[in-house]
């Protein structure tokens, strides 16, 4: 199916369910709108699922879909580790031994490591091998990938979400693992937001100050060499992007198409969310901001999306860790939404609300 055909299938939220969810919140025996963003998160779920009866949805079966991919630009020394670490961490994820895996286990969340374009095949049986190409080319010298490959990677992300949906998942959490992927993220942020590279580039997984200066220089070179057209998302993605970013774009589009919420993680994930929103503005209603990455452009990307994140904890780890942290907010929100007595049930006279 063509990308445009997928995008056409995305419909707005169910407004009746949204209104009914607010009416329900406002009937509960507590200060009006007292749970702030948590109330909004539950209302968004109602609009997405098309029902205010959220208690009837037995199990959301949340899942972190981790897009694993390698970046040719790592050859320029833009990350403090080598590309072999991508595959190693994906294998560790197979054994449930990575940050997001340990956090997810705590919350009863499934984790699926997807190899969308590492340099090597994943060996662990839990890894979904869906390789579009074995790593991107070095964008400091040539386009990271072709436009066709970028589209194929987006479609691969859509297909991953479809498969998870068929397995019963009703909440998708985006995650990524790809050594060097903050470099394409910053390159894309600079182009798409029209910012100076130095403003949108950070230390990633832990670069030194000298390393950061070098990374900025490499990104400048990549943009100079490729001349991406900022008005054409696929051009920017294919020239200075990455396969994991493309895969996550697919997750946002696929989730919106199937009417399931898709949680945005950190900087890399929000660059993808921004691209998805540009390609399909309706998809934004299905996205959930979770935390604001401490990478310099983390907040800028959320601002560009017109979103604020409920959690600001200085996190900058990736893998979906920020989004999994925010999943706990749903647990509180839904516990109250489904369990708190109404004013009448709580024997409290409903006061006049100032809505």
Ligand X SMILES: Cc1cc2ncn([C@H]3O[C@H](COP(=O)(O)O)[C@@H](O)[C@H]3O)c2cc1C
Ligand Y SMILES: O=C(O)c1cccnc1
Which residues are registered as beta bridge partners of 176? 67
Kindly tell me which of 27 and 81 has the beta carbon lying closer to ligand X: 81
**Measured from the CB atom, is 35 or 85 closer to ligand X?**
85
Residue 47 partner contact from ligand Y, ligand X, none using kind-dependent CB cut-offs of 5 to 8 Å: none
Question: Which of ligand X, ligand Y, none sits in contact with 89, Cβ below 5 to 8 A by type?
Answer: ligand X
Among ligand X, ligand Y, none, partner that 254 touches (CB below 5 to 8 angstroms by kind): none
Q: Determine which helix (DSSP H) or strand (DSSP E) holds 69, and give its type and residue range.
A: strand 62-69
**Shortest spacing between CB 207 and ligand X, in angstroms:** 6
**Least distance CB 181 / ligand Y (angstroms):** 7
Decide which of ligand X, ligand Y, none touches 144; Cβ closer than 5 to 8 Å per partner kind: none
CB of 179 to ligand X, least distance (A): 4
Say which entry of ligand X, ligand Y, none residue 79 contacts (CB below 5 to 8 A, set by partner kind).
ligand X
Among 93, 138, 295, 333, indicate the residue that binds ligand Y (CB under 6 A).
Answer: 295
Q: How many Å from the N-terminal Cα to the C-terminal Cα in the chain?
A: 45
* Residue ranges in contact with ligand X by CB under 6 A: 79, 81, 85, 89, 176-183, 204-205, 317-319
Torsion angle defined by CA atoms of residues 108, 44, 53 and 111, in that order, rounded to the nearest 10 degrees: -20
Considering CB under 6 A, how many residues would be counted as binding ligand Y?
14
Say which residues have a Cβ less than 8 Å from residue 217's Cβ, sequence separation at least 6. none
Q: How far is the CB of 262 from ligand X (least distance, A)?
A: 18
163 Cβ contact partners less than 8 Å away, ≥ 6 residues apart: none
Report if residue 180 touches ligand Y, rule: CB under 6 A: no
Q: Which stretch binds ligand Y (CB under 6 A): 55-63, 101-109, 133-141, 263-271?
A: 263-271
| Residues carrying an active site annotation | 319
The CB-side HSE value for 127 (13 A sphere, CA atoms) comes to 26
| Cα distances (Å, whole numbers) of residue 346 to 32, 99, 332, 341 | 15, 42, 19, 5
Between vectors from CA 8 to CA 63 and to CA 39, what angle results, nearest 5°?
A: 45
What string of H, E and C letters represents the secondary structure of 237-306? HHHHCCHHHHHHHHHHHHHHHHCCCEECCCHHHHHHHHHHHHHCHHHHHHEECCECCCCCCHHHHHHHHC
Task: Give the nearest distance from C-beta 62 to ligand Y in angstroms.
Answer: 19
Binding test (CB under 6 A) with ligand Y, winner from 130, 152, 259, 316: 316
Q: Nearer to ligand Y by C-beta: 182 or 325?
A: 182
268 binds ligand Y (CB under 6 A): yes
Give, in order, the Cα–Cα distances in Å from 38 to each of 67, 109, 225, 323.
28, 19, 45, 14
252 phi and psi angles, rounded to 5 deg:
-65, -45
- Both structure tokens of 264: 């945005």
Using the rule CB under 6 A, is 113 a contact of ligand Y? no
Least Å distance, CB 128 to ligand X, is 17
Segment contacting ligand Y (CB under 6 A): 62-70, 243-251, 261-269, 303-311? Answer: 261-269
CA distances from 289 to 41, 61, 210, 298 (A): 10, 19, 32, 11
- Answer with the entry of ligand Y, ligand X, none that 298 interacts with (C-beta below 5 to 8 A by kind): ligand Y
Judged by beta carbon, residue 7 or residue 77, the one nearer ligand X is 77
Contacts (Cβ under 8 Å, ≥6 apart) of 207: 78, 79, 80, 215
Between 44 and 269, name the residue whose CB sits nearer to ligand X.
269
Q: Could you list the residues that contact ligand Y (CB under 6 A)?
A: 182, 204-205, 265-269, 293, 295, 298, 316-318
């Amino acid at each position: 199916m063509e990308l445009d055909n997928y995008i056409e299938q995305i419909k707005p939220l169910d407004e009746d369910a949204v209104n009914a969810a607010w009416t329900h919140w406002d009937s509960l025996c507590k200060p009006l709108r007292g749970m702030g963003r948590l109330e909004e998160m539950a209302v968004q779920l109602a609009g997405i699922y098309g029902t205010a009866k959220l208690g009837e949805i037995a199990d959301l079966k949340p899942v972190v879909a981790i897009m694993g991919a390698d970046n040719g630009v790592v050859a320029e020394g833009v990350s403090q580790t080598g590309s072999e670490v991508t595959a190693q961490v994906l294998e560790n994820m197979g054994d449930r031994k990575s940050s997001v895996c340990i956090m997810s286990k705590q919350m009863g969340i499934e984790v699926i490591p997807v190899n969308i374009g590492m340099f090597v095949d994943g060996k662990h049986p839990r890894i979904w091998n869906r390789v579009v190409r074995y790593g991107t080319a070095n964008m400091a010298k040539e386009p990271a990938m072709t436009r066709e490959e970028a589209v194929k990677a987006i479609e691969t992300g859509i297909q991953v979400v479809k498969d998870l949906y068929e397995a019963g998942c009703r909440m998708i959490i985006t995650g990524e693992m790809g050594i060097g992927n903050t470099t394409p993220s910053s390159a894309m942020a600079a182009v798409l937001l029209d910012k100076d590279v130095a403003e949108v580039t950070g230390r990633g997984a832990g670069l030194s100050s000298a390393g950061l200066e070098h990374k900025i220089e490499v990104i400048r070179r990549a943009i100079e060499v490729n001349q991406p057209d900022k008005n054409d998302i696929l051009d920017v993605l294919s020239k200075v992007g990455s396969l994991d970013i493309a895969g996550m774009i697919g997750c946002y589009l696929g989730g919106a198409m199937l009417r399931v919420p898709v949680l945005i993680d950190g900087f890399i994930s929000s660059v993808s969310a921004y691209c998805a929103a540009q390609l399909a503005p309706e998809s934004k209603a299905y996205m959930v901001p979770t935390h604001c990455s401490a990478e310099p452009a983390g907040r800028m990307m959320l601002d560009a999306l017109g979103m604020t994140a409920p959690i600001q904890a200085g996190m900058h780890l990736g893998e979906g860790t920020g989004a999994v942290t925010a999943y706990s907010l749903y647990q509180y929100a839904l516990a109250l939404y489904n369990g708190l007595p109404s004013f009448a049930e709580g024997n409290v006279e409903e006061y006049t609300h100032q809505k």
